[in-house]
Structure 1
Amino acid sequence: MARDLRALFGSNNQALDADEAFTNRQAQWDAVSSALTGHLARIAAPGFDVQDLEAPRHNVLVFHGVGGIGKSTLSRKLEAALADTGRRPAQWGEPSWPAAPRLLPVRVDLARSAGTDFERLVLALRAALAGLDRPLPAFDIALDRYWEHNHPGEPLEDYLRRAGLVGRAGRALPGQLQAALGEAAQQLGLPGAVGSAVGQVATAAVRAVRERHATARALAGCPRLADLLEAEPDLEALAFYPHLLAYEIDRLPAKKAVVPIVLLDTFEDTGDRTNRDLERLIQRVVWLMPNTLFVVTGRSRLQWADPALQGQLDYTGPAAWPQLAAHIPTTRADQADRANAGPAGSASPGNRAAAAVSRQILIGDFSPEDCEDYLTRRLTADGRPLIDDRLRRIITARSHGLPLYLDLAVLRFLEIRRTRTPEPADFEHDFPALLARTLQDLTPDERHVLRAASLLDAFDVPLATAAAGLDRQAAALRLIERPFVREHEAALWPYHLHAVVRSTIRRADDHTDDRWSLDDWQHAAARALDALGGQWAAGRDAGGRALLTGCLRQGLVLARDHRLGLGWLADAAWAYVSDSVWEPIAPPAPTSGTDTDTDTGTGTGTDTGQTSEDGPSGAAVLQTPADALVEALRTLAARQREHRTHTADRLTRVIDSRLLPADLTDLALYYRAKAHRDLGRAAASRQGMQQVAAGTTRLAPAARRGLAHLARLDGDFPTALATAQNLGWAGRQHRVLGDLWWVHAEMDQAAAAYEAARTDAEHHGVAGEAATSQAQLAFVRAFTDPEAADDDLHLADQFLTGLDLRATTLTTRIAALVRDAGTPGDTIPERADVLAAEVRASGVRAAHTALALAVCFHHAVRDDPDDQTALATAIRDLDQLTRDRDYAYYTDIAHFMAGLPLQFPSPARWYDGPDQVRNRWRTLVTARRTHLGL
């Protein structure tokens, strides 16, 4: 490695070893040239055997680095350069490898968003070779057999079209596969009609290979073909078919000869360190195609040379992958050495190690593992790391993988070490030098847009331009081409700044000539907030939930950290609440010392490193309406994951601050009243509901529904019914009626009401209400029709996908218990005990009592004379839960189910009297017993 002279001259310690670490794209191109030159020499050597399955592999080159550093761009540029399309970057110069044979680059994006699975990868390899205008019989027969078995009735051309593999070559592939079958049938002497059948051709081919028929030389020359054709044509077998592809490529005539170069991009999406199924299949392809060079780009090094992975991958260890085994040199000088290493087989003793190392090359930012490795090796004394592991973790987290930050942190370490031992707090630090280097080659307008964009988690060109207050987009368009601006094409706003660059711009001391004042930051924040509101208003109907939540998340940060008025945020908050989806929306609380009193006048927002919606927000001081709204929305989302006591306490704090306007105060009042109801605090809940219902805000109908629920909880069913019949859609009338019908054991009426409620919710596009209604429908159906309830629960799970509705999820799990109630051998009590722990953690009393009632139903159906204690215990537990009047009639229902006398009935006012209700509940139990044959 090259010596880091700055570090060496920053210390008197003569034992200090310091190495620098940087990369550049020219070195990467040189590495490709070197690897390709060596690869061509290796496969042209007399001793090379494409069917040798034991020789070490030298056909992999890896570029790795953190996301967004430009690995995909590099992969695309390599594809173009290797295809000799004239799009090679000028600075890369002319190729240095031999001119023949023709190179055939094939780029495959393995990103999850690209939808590339293993099957598509194999087809992409074969489709690229379709340009040769000839069948590849050994592979094509196997592929045809696989396709017929796994995609019966699906034309291959249709699949290729959907997979985006239909170019001129891709269109020719189905015909080439058919031609391969025809030629094989002719060579094997099969009749025409029989020859069109893949199975018949495969059987005959196996016989020809086993017997080495001279008439089928193309097939008989591949001895493993028979085994592959006899194997079950599943995905596992498909992963071995590339051996046949390598064989066919090797036997191409000189005029058709090609050398495939497969560029596998976004390799990190093949799995993680605990799930390597796809990686295992891809590694098998690489191993079985030694005449193909694979250029892998991903976030981390390939670990294939690690012997510890034996069993997870097919081929592991340094003997198998000698060029993947060594550590990575990370200096510019070492990369230059690597680029000049030449073919591995001809490297001189001095550069042979570099040639091996060159196959794993770090580009741009570092992964966390690489940051650790970098800091471990960057400064050493007597062979040991000078920076201890605690400091390494702090620096790694703050760097976000930026090599420049690591470099500056190392210099800071040495500077502090002159006078004292460095501490972790010394690296909670942003470097003005990083800011200066970021800004140094930007135009004034680009610097202006960059500062404005640093206020935003993510942005597009119009948003950044508006936040900067410019009337043209040219500067923003130039800015997004800079390497510190990352792009995520599928995101709502596709651009974001590198995390370290963003935090440094917002927090570091800015001594540049065009630095912003506090007022400049404040004005930019107001412009950004207005621009977000404009985007939400313009796309409100078409943008959907993603636009709403995205604008809210960014807008709340701006309003809170810069003490801005709520403006459009109030309407957006109502839109957020109306869908009852409850995804995390509010930003984390800012850490101390990072509010608007900092030098830049900006808060840290999501740069604090605190990401939990359930963080210690109780310590935050509510000083502005934005503070109060952030706390309210954070509480509403967090209530799906925390006890209702915390919800009530946090909303009380918001209400007592008196910072919100009247309608948003009603929002806090209503949901606090709901929390009180869930906690069994009927009087407090009723007081809050009455206060909201008496007003004219948007939640008045919902509060009237809340009063109907409270009447139902108290057993005052006539009052609840009278209230429910006038609620309409806004008050969720059908669902409230369903809640009333089922406690009377009128399950068919309840089911009809819940179905109507779900239909209304779908019509109005309220996802949370639709999921809740469907869950309730599954619950009531579970009493009468377990098979139908099974379908209803499946549909409820679909409705709940992407939603965070804790109480509704609990309802579906209770419904599953009711569905299975009485089943011989079922572990209902044990399942109920597990669920009870979650219910207690939620603080939702309705779920607790419903669960207890479900257990009573189970024991009533079992009616086991040898275990009458279980039923008595279940009823007693239910009675303990409902003793303070709320849901007291559940104890009545438990007695009705079991056909037991009721000595102390609740004060419930049943519609048609307790005897009719008793009969209906008892009928449900006897019907279930009959259904189960008990």
Structure 2
Amino acid sequence: MAGRDLRALFSTNDRGLEAVEAFTNRQLQWELVAAALSEHLRLINESAFGVEDLERPRHNVMVFHGVGGIGKTTLSRKLEAALAGADQRPAQWGEPAWSGQRILPVRIDLARSAGTSFEDVILTVRAALAELGRPLPAFDIALRRYWETQHPGEPLEEYLRRGGLAGRFGKAMPQQMQSALADVAQALLLPGTVGTAAGALVGSLTRALRERRQTVRALAGCARLADLLEADPDLEALSFYPHLLAWELAQLPADKRVMPVILLDTFEDVGDRTHRDLERLIQRVVWLMPNCFFVITGRSRLQWADAALQGQLDYTGPAAWPHLALPAAIPAARAARPPHGHARQVLIGDFSPEDCDDHLARRLTRDGEPLISEEIRQVIAGRSHGLPLYLDLSVMRFLEIRRTGRSPAPADFDHDFPALIARTLSDLTAPERHVLRSVSLLDAFDLPLAARAAGLTHEAPALRLIERPFVRQDPFGLWPYHLHGLIRSTFRDADDHADDRWSPRDWHQAAQRTLTALGEQWTAGTSRDRRLLVGCLRQGLAIARDYNLDLDWLTDAAWTYVSDSVWEPVTPPAPGARAPGTPADALVELLSTLTRRQHEHRARTVSRLTAVLDADLLPADLQEVALYYRAKALRDTGRAAQSRRDYQQVADQGGRLAPAARRGLAHAARLAGDFPTALAAAQNLGWEGRHQRVLGDLYWLQGQPERAAAAYLAGRTEAELHGKAGEAAHSQALRAFAIALYSPDQATAEIDLAHQLLTGLNLRATTINVRRAELIRDAGSDSVDDQIATLRTELDIAGLNSLTPAIELACAFHQAVLDDHTALHATLTRLREHTSDEDHAYFVDIAQFMADVPADQASGVRWLDSEQHIRSRWRGLVIARQAHLNAGH
């Protein structure tokens, strides 16, 4: 299934090199063709089928469409070879379902470069049927008359020889036509040489048909033959002659029966959406030959099932072409549609990485071994996005580099090919090319966004563009359309040598239009929904960064993103390690850092945010965001004094994050054990400062988890009222922890709710708090030690040092429940190590309260109640858990 690759062979002096046109398996496409042919054979062998029935829906066409360079022509050629004989069919394609039925493949290239006219299409089909070894008189007489009228003095035999049809199919066709004329002339008892009297013969035959003479009864069965012979023998009449061919095929005896499969390649060159003259003639051929099967390959879907084309083509709409219609356009009650029909408009997919590697390995070989190394093949396959044309261009680049005397290296193939642009643009109108370049700035788009990005006031060019095969569709996406990955990257990165190429200023203006259009979509979105926000941010940040645009609406969108505390990835990958150089660079780095802190060590977060602050490129309010979250990260890494300084600076500025910074300061007072100061601060925080959460954090430390759970519930309710999913999940995680302290049975439902609220969110610390709640719920059971070990590892990896004492305190609760004072002593030692900077020092006190052991040193904690009351409450929680476990046994 591989021929000689002459272009490659003539690109090198290396005679030991084997260059073949590697055909990568297209088994799925073969299976679809085989299934469609089996269905078609069943249909035409039904008793109700009639070749002269011009009203029955047609099921005799299949379309393979795809982007230029995807391998449609290669597939067409291989289908022709596979249908011609089993020895030409790849073994993995398998045997077709039909048997005893002769298939005659006829492939016709409609490319402009091939110069194929409509006459050539008709003559090719007839020349191929010469293999039958018999005249087809109804058609042959009509064609002879047409030829003598339209090509006077030009022998048909000479035309066939000059066009290559005689060499391809033999010279039998003219002889068969001459025989047909002679037989009819003899039947009509006409004198003279009929070869020079086609006009007279046709007139006599027509009269005989009208008079129903017995001498022409063989042709009288063709009901429309007389009408066609009476019509002027012009191109319009020629397009109806295939009806005569179909009729002749239907008259063949059973042992001579054949089904032509006509493969029409490069169908995009037939015409465009405005000029459909040739398409109309070819469609007529397909309709009038229902006992033949047509396989069409081209760049675009066939639109024949679109009722809006009525008047431009003869046969349109889903009732005429059920298999070509989109599913929603097919009438549900259409009884004439075969019950087990297959989709007949098939998008040719990209090669898989494995197919790409196989293709490259077999294209160039020496002594049976691949000439292109595995490392280079991997780079090419990765860059190709599965497009065969890219693979072929890379093979030629490989040979070109070798001609310079240098061995190709993987880095040589991190390369874009302008030829891909030329292939893609070749059949687009100027407005479509303008829209294509504009949407190449976008990961995904819809029609309004495409039109606005292109600066158009109407969507017609965008509507035409989305029907092209390089535009892929995801009906469930926020924006349903996106460009083929390789096409998009090539347009963005390669030198564009087209006549209407864009200048750098053109690209910059398009980027500004696109960014503005994204902002308009976000601000116009209903309820400013999160999905739209994230989508607009992702695309807008990349455009602003790549084209150094002002932040504009991105500032407001960034604030909305941050305030929800959900932390989905929104930033594009960095083009390379570099310090922020523009405001857009800095905003990308800021949001990337805030998102990645859920997956990176908090020390890395501090370092990245410090770099953003030092660059000083962001507006003052976004600089405040970086400062506030650095304060949080410093607190998480245990650097309390530095954290308080950052919090204080944000609070003093009085900006949007001032309430949150004041909450941070209240947290700092709590961490230092100054609970009265923290409580006083909480009274003035309000919703913006998450006052209920701050109160809950204070109450459970005083041994009052019921009161804490109530505060966390109030905080969750406020968060839900304000639409803050992240804050609601965080409050619920803490509520589950508080309830686990006094009611492990109730805690399970609260933990489940916390997991549910975390669905779709990216909150690492909150997730660990849920795990802490599970640990407290399970205190006294055998599984807790493993849970604690796992959590210690996760906290170390994440750099969440501030949560480590809380996990050790949970461990102390478990050991106090078990009265395991030996293990508790080790835990107290670890707690003292983790609280040596004075933050969380009260955890040592609480652990001692739980086990009812005397405090060995003063911690300086300022409790909200007497220490004796605090000790009594914590000991009471442990005793209650022991009673619960004993009751369970």
Pick closer, same or farther for the CA change 1:10–1:760 going to 2, 3 Å. same
Tell me if structure 1 keeps the 8 A contact 2:44–2:291.
no
Q: Larger deviation: 377-386 or 445-454? A: 377-386
Q: How many residue pairs end up in the alignment?
A: 628
Aligned to 2:504: 518
Residue number in structure 1 paired with 2:543: 558
Partner of 1:883: 836
Corresponding letter in the other structure for 2:818: R
1:738 aligns with 2:696: yes
Of 817, 823, 829 in structure 1, the residue corresponding to residue 775 of structure 2 is 817
- Partner residue of 1:503 out of 472, 479, 489: 489
C-alpha deviation, 1:836, in angstroms: 0.4
Task: Quote the offset at 1:439 in angstroms.
Answer: 1.2
Counterpart of 1:469 in structure 2: which amino acid?
G
TM superposition shift of 1:34 = 3.9
Q: Which amino acid aligns with 2:364?
A: L
1:570 counterpart (526, 548, 555): 555
SS of corresponding position for 2:21? coil
- Higher mean displacement: 368-377 or 397-406: 368-377
Q: Distance in 1 between matches of 2:502 and 2:833?
A: 65
Q: Secondary structure at 1:18's aligned position in 2?
A: strand
Partner residue in 1 for 2:221? none
The correspondence for 1:487, drawn from 463, 473, 479, is 473
Partner of residue 316, structure 1: none
For the residue of structure 1 that corresponds to 2:517, the secondary structure is helix
Change (3 A) 1:29 1:646: closer
Task: Report the equivalent of 1:830.
Answer: 786
Check the 8 A contact 2:66/2:470 in 1, yes or no. Answer: no
| Aligned twin of 2:452 | 466
- Among 636, 646, 664, the alignment partner of 1:688 is 646
Deviations 1:383-414 (A, max 9, x none): 22222211111110000001111111111112
Task: Identify if the C-alpha distance between structure 1 residues 21 and 712 changes in structure 2 by more than 3 Å, giving closer, same or farther.
Answer: same
* Residue 536 (structure 1) aligned with residue 531 (structure 2): no
Distance 1:396 1:369 in 2: 9
CA separation of 1:95/1:800 partners in 2, compared to 1, >3 Å: closer, same or farther?
A: farther
Question: Does the 8 Å CA contact 2:638/2:801 hold for their aligned counterparts?
Answer: yes
Matched, 1:388 2:373: yes
* Distance (whole Å) between structure 2 residues aligned to residue 932 and residue 749 of structure 1: 24
Q: Secondary structure at the match of 1:933?
A: helix
Question: What SS does structure 2 have at the residue aligned with 1:813?
Answer: helix
Of residues 817, 828, 845, the one that matches 1:861 is: 817
Distance 1:92 1:9 in 2: 40
Instruction: Evaluate the alpha carbon distance shift between residue 26 and residue 652 of structure 1 in structure 2; reply closer, same or farther with a 3 A threshold.
Output: closer
SS of 1:486's equivalent in the other structure is strand
**Structure 1 unaligned blocks of 5 or more:** 45-60, 75-86, 99-163, 171-255, 266-294, 298-361, 592-618
Residue from 676, 695, 698 that aligns with 2:656: 698
2:660–2:690 Cα contact (<8 Å) kept: yes
Letter in structure 2 aligned against 1:860:
A
Per-residue deviation, 1:90: 7.1
1:909 pairs with 830, 852, 862, which one?
862
Does structure 1 residue 414 correspond to structure 2 residue 366? no
**Residue equivalent to 2:418:** 432
> 2: distance between equivalents of 1:473 and 1:462?
7
**Counterpart mapping for 1:183-198 below 5 A:** none
Tell me what 1:789 maps to.
Answer: 747
Letter in structure 1 aligned against 2:438: A
Matched residue, 1:114? none
Call closer, same or farther: CA 1:910–1:20 in 2, change over 3 Å. Answer: same
Q: Distance in 2 between matches of 1:92 and 1:881?
A: 82
2:565 — aligned with what? 580
Among 772, 784, 799, the residue aligned to 1:843: 799
Aligned letter for 1:930?
Answer: A
* Aligned residue in 2 for 1:780: 738
Structure 2 vs 1, CA of residues 920 and 507 (structure 1 numbering), >3 Å: closer, same or farther? same
Cα deviations across residues 735-793 of structure 1 (Å, max 9, x unaligned)? 11000000011111100000011111111110000000000001011111111110011
Say yes or no: does 1:899 pair with 2:876. no
Q: 1:871 aligns with which of 824, 837, 844?
A: 824
Q: Which residue identity lines up with residue 674 of structure 1 in the other structure?
A: K
TM-aligned CA deviation for residue 168 of structure 1: 7.2
Q: Which whole-Å CA distance do the structure 2 matches of 1:779 and 1:64 have between them?
A: 58
Counterpart for residue 589 of structure 1: 574
Distance verdict in 2 for CA 1:862–1:89, change over 3 Å: farther
Which deviates more, 425-434 or 842-851?
842-851
Is the alpha carbon distance of 1:788 and 1:26 closer, same or farther for their aligned partners in structure 2, counting shifts above 3 Å?
Answer: closer
Query: Match for 2:802: what amino acid?
Result: A
Q: Which residue type is aligned with residue 596 of structure 2?
A: A
Superimposed CA distance per residue, residues 158-196 of structure 1 (whole angstroms, 9 cap, x where no aligned partner)? xxxxxx9x99789xxxxxxxxxxxxxxxxxxxxxxxxxx
Contact 1:452 1:467 in 2 (8 A): yes
Residue 616 of structure 2: aligned partner: 658
Structure 2 counterpart of 1:488, which letter? D
Q: Distance in 1 between matches of 2:697 and 2:670?
A: 8
Give the Cα–Cα distance (whole angstroms) in 1 for the partners of residues 425 and 65 of structure 2.
27
Q: Is the 8 A contact 1:26 1:92 kept in 2?
A: no
Q: Where does residue 770 of structure 1 map in the other structure?
A: 728
- Aligned-partner Cα distance in 2 for 1:97–1:712: 85
Counterpart amino acid of residue 752 in structure 1: A
Matched residue type, 1:590: P
User: Does the Cα contact within 8 Å between 2:65 and 2:469 map onto a contact in 1?
Assistant: no
SS at match of 2:431: helix
Once the two structures are TM-superposed, the CA of residue 510 in structure 1 deviates from its matched residue by: 1.6
> 1:313 aligns to what?
none
For the residue of structure 1 that corresponds to 2:579, the secondary structure is coil
Larger Rg: 2
The 1:717/1:859 distance shift into structure 2, 3 A limit, reads same
Aligned equivalents of 1:579, 1:788: Cα separation in 2: 29
Q: What SS is found at the alignment partner of 1:19?
A: strand
CA-to-aligned-CA distance 1:532-562 (integer Å, 9 cap, x gap): 1111111151x51110011111111111111
User: What is the CA RMSD across the aligned residues, in angstroms?
Assistant: 3.5
Contact 1:817 / 1:832 at 8 angstroms: preserved in 2? yes
Structure-1-length-normalised TM-score: 0.63
The alpha-carbon distance between structure 1 residues 90 and 395, as it changes in their structure 2 partners (threshold 3 A), is farther
Q: For 2:502 and 2:484, how far apart are their aligned partners in 1? A: 20
CA distance in 2, matches of 1:847, 1:43: 77
Task: Give the aligned partner of residue 754 of structure 1.
Answer: 712
Amino acid at match of 2:367: D
User: Deviation at 1:22?
Assistant: 7.5
- 2:685 corresponds to 1:727: yes
Unpaired runs of at least 5, structure 2: 48-61, 76-279, 294-327
Distance 1:833 1:30 in 2: 59
